[in-house]
A = this chain, B = another copy of it.
């Protein structure tokens, strides 16, 4: 089998640095640490990138994908809008604020980014079935990408998800298996399945393809920097589920600096959780280096991972960059969804309510500098979590079609 992962040349252990050949492996044989892609980038210029497509493939020379990736059937996610959020900034007292709005992706969450990379890995390894454990958004992203790429799909979710996420994961034609249990139980089940002959030739995007998959989150860092005019933001607020997205955005910023694509300037990374599933925030506030698992209970189901794999790395990054980790209540999440919608015309899912709610809290408690260039992430779409705004899901008034009736209200 001839593999082509473009600039990626090996897998390396994030804990002990041991190197492995590129393959469908995810844990270090020496220390059980997580494996991640290691690169030999060569020279990459702004001009090369700027002439690329309006998708994550403009950064293909920084990702574990072949050079001709854009010619194959895939979802072409990314290059979503970085919205200059003047109204929200004024409402919160922040001088310069942008919202990176990933609801513009094909299945309306940032998951399309990571799945697109995993599809290439699945092709490389000759897998016929794409799979995952998911809190919902990932299931839709995987089944859609599999349909487009001509792969089978079989995805696993907690059985109690939002109806919109279930419909979206089913409509693309793959098998959708509900598990009676939490996301963490779904995840453990998938790890067992990989070791079983049943799961042979299956690519679990967030398990045995994770070292490739996770790299997709770096594209958020690249896009934000390029869209700011090849400049890093001074502060960024990122949601925490497994914590992988946050650690990869940090990795992306560091790569841009190392490659000379942006000036080496300090940036602060802030993590955002829902109070009903805030193990990383709790550890941050208690000064701990490790994360104590919790049983999630929050409307922010896409962030409801009680045992976040990258928790310790998130704590390290927040502390090293001078950021913080904070959490908000379900009521604050709903309030923040409405604030973002009414000020910027962006309808976020609950995860976006978490980041905007945390942004507000961090300004109010003086942790975030209102004078610094700030970016906040919206990673999903309000249409998938309609229950959060069910209290306003009806007309202001219902009238007969007459001017008199309208005057009366």
Contact = CB atoms under 8 A, between A and B. Distances in A.
Given A198-B406, A343-B147, A396-B177, A189 B401 contact: yes
A345 B142 CA distance: 9
B398 A179 contact: yes
Interface stretch (A12-20, A163-171, A211-219): A163-171
A248 interface: no
Interface in A388-404: 389-390, 392-403
Nearest to A170: B392
A361 interface: no
Given A172-B341, A173-B341, 13 more contacts: A75-B345, A101-B106, A108-B108, A166-B393, A167-B389, A167-B393, A168-B382, A171-B337, A177-B398, A178-B394, A178-B397, A189-B402, A198-B403
A157 interface: yes
Given A168-B383, A171-B341, A393-B166, A86 B104 contact: no
Contact of A157 (B159, B180, B395): B395
Contact of A171 (B164, B347, B406): B347
Question: Which one of A145, A163, A198, A341 has the greatest number of beta carbons of chain B within 10 Å?
Answer: A341
Interface stretch (A76-84, A271-279, A284-292): A76-84
Interface in A59-89: 73, 75-76, 79, 81, 84, 86-87
A76 B157 CA distance: 35
Interface in A335-381: 337-338, 341-347, 381
Contacts of A297: none
Nearest to A149: B345
Nearest to A348: B171
A383 B147 contact: no
Given A171-B389, A337-B171, A386-B167, A399 B179 contact: yes
Given A163-B393, A407-B198, A171 B338 contact: yes
A181 interface: yes
A94 interface: no
A93 to B, nearest CB: 17
A392 B253 CA distance: 42
A186 B401 contact: yes
A148 interface: yes
